[in-house]
A = this chain, B = another copy of it.
């Protein structure tokens, strides 16, 4: 059995899975702020989910932690987890002595990609998980493993510019996919306060507000471009869309599908890729991110044996 945690800016989602990747228990708790509180949240989440399942800590083979921020390939440390108030945390070194279980850490999008693959991956074995949150990034899963690439930039499609006349991106470029489709960029361009700014933009667009309609169009254009980039570069079989914006459900997928459809009408080549059929939305409340964290660090043999 393995524990997986998705440590988010407000909530931490915890699951415990068996060797066949079935979820035995799941629990959620509030995430603390800052390096010490985040460490305490992780330890507490493991105990809570073990208690929920009635399983002793000694029976857990590993704890996998998915966190926003940079995790170098094979590293035990997360850096720049800005949303959590963590500049740097050696998750393994901090938590292993406390828990007495092997602890691994992974970037949250890459972990969620593993989980989305386990839950929704198709047979062909190549899948991208496109995370639409404050930023835009993807994780590519090949034969059950996260595509690692050379230096950690795999799946960073958010910073591909698709319009030299587009809005400036916080990365310094113009017209990046993230500048069009990132929740943070949309909120900034909208410029009005609100707890769920992208939802506000969609509401205002429905009511006919011109700026909101333009922002929604840009968002759909950005997401459609991300899907095209993933298929035209890595030729993934499926693009599973998750992240905070995926809670918009049909309100998100309808304009994205329309944008993909328009592209397919313009180009026989693009049409042949059947992009609309390849894109799918993660269901609301999906445990993909925590489940994926639990899968982090499984050996190739285990992946092949248990899928």
Chain B residues whose CB sits within 8 angstroms of the CB of A138 once the complex forms: 233
A151 within 8 A of B: yes
How many angstroms from the CA of A233 to the CA of B266 in the assembled complex? 25
Most chain B C-beta atoms within 10 Å of own C-beta, residue among A149, A155, A232: A232
CB–CB B267/A173 < 8 A: yes
Give A253-295 as 1s and 0s: 1 = Cβ < 8 Å from B's Cβ atoms.
0000000000100111110010000000000000000000000
Say whether A150 contacts B235, CB under 8 Å. yes
Contact present for B147 and A232 (CB under 8 Å): no
Bound-state Cα–Cα, A278 to B160, Å: 17
- Selected from B126, B150, B230, B268, the residue in CB contact (under 8 A) with A233 is B230
Q: A164-B163, A229-B229 are in contact. Are A147 and B266 (CB under 8 A)?
A: no
Judge whether A200 is part of the interface by a CB distance below 8 angstroms: no
Do A153 and B273 form a contact, CB below 8 Å, given A229-B233, A234-B234?
A: yes
> A152 on the interface (CB 8 Å rule)?
yes
Which residue of chain B has its CB nearest to the CB of A152? Answer: B235
Residue of B nearest to A126 (CB): B150
User: A124 contacts which of B150, B229, B237, B268 (Cβ < 8 Å)?
Assistant: B150
Question: Among the listed B149, B157, B171, which residue makes an inter-chain contact with A126, where contact means beta carbons less than 8 Å apart?
Answer: B149
Report chain B residues within 8 Å CB of A235: 147-156
Taking the full assembly, how many copies of this chain does it contain? 2
What residues of chain B lie closer than 8 Å to A237, measured between beta carbons? 149-151
Which residues of chain B are near A169, meaning CB under 8 Å?
267
Task: Give bound CA distance, A228 to B177, whole Å.
Answer: 13
A159 contacts chain B at the CB level, 8 A cutoff = yes
Q: Which residue of B lies closest to A138 (CB)?
A: B233
Residue of B nearest to A235 (CB): B149
A31 close to chain B: CB less than 8 A: no
Q: Once the chains bind, are A165 and B165 in contact (CB under 8 Å)?
A: yes
Interface string of A157-197 (1 = CB under 8 A from B): 10111111100010111000000000000000000000000
Residue A114, interface by CB 8 Å: no
* A225 at interface by CB-CB < 8 Å: yes
Interchain nearest-CB distance for A279 vs B (Å): 13
Task: State the Cβ distance, A134 to closest chain B Cβ, in Å.
Answer: 15
Contact between B228 and A160, CB atoms less than 8 A apart = yes
A235 CA to B149 CA in the complex, in Å?
A: 5
Query: CB of A53 within 8 A of chain B?
Result: no
A220 within 8 A of B: no
Which chain A residues numbered 100 to 153 have a C-beta less than 8 Å away from chain B?
124, 126, 138, 140, 147-153
Q: Does A21 contact B (CB under 8 A)?
A: no
* Distance between Cα atoms of A237 and B147 in the complex (Å): 13
A and B contact pairs by CB, cutoff 8 A, 16 listed: A124-B150, A138-B233, A140-B233, A149-B234, A149-B237, A152-B235, A154-B233, A154-B235, A156-B232, A156-B235, A159-B232, A160-B160, A160-B225, A230-B233, A233-B233, A234-B234
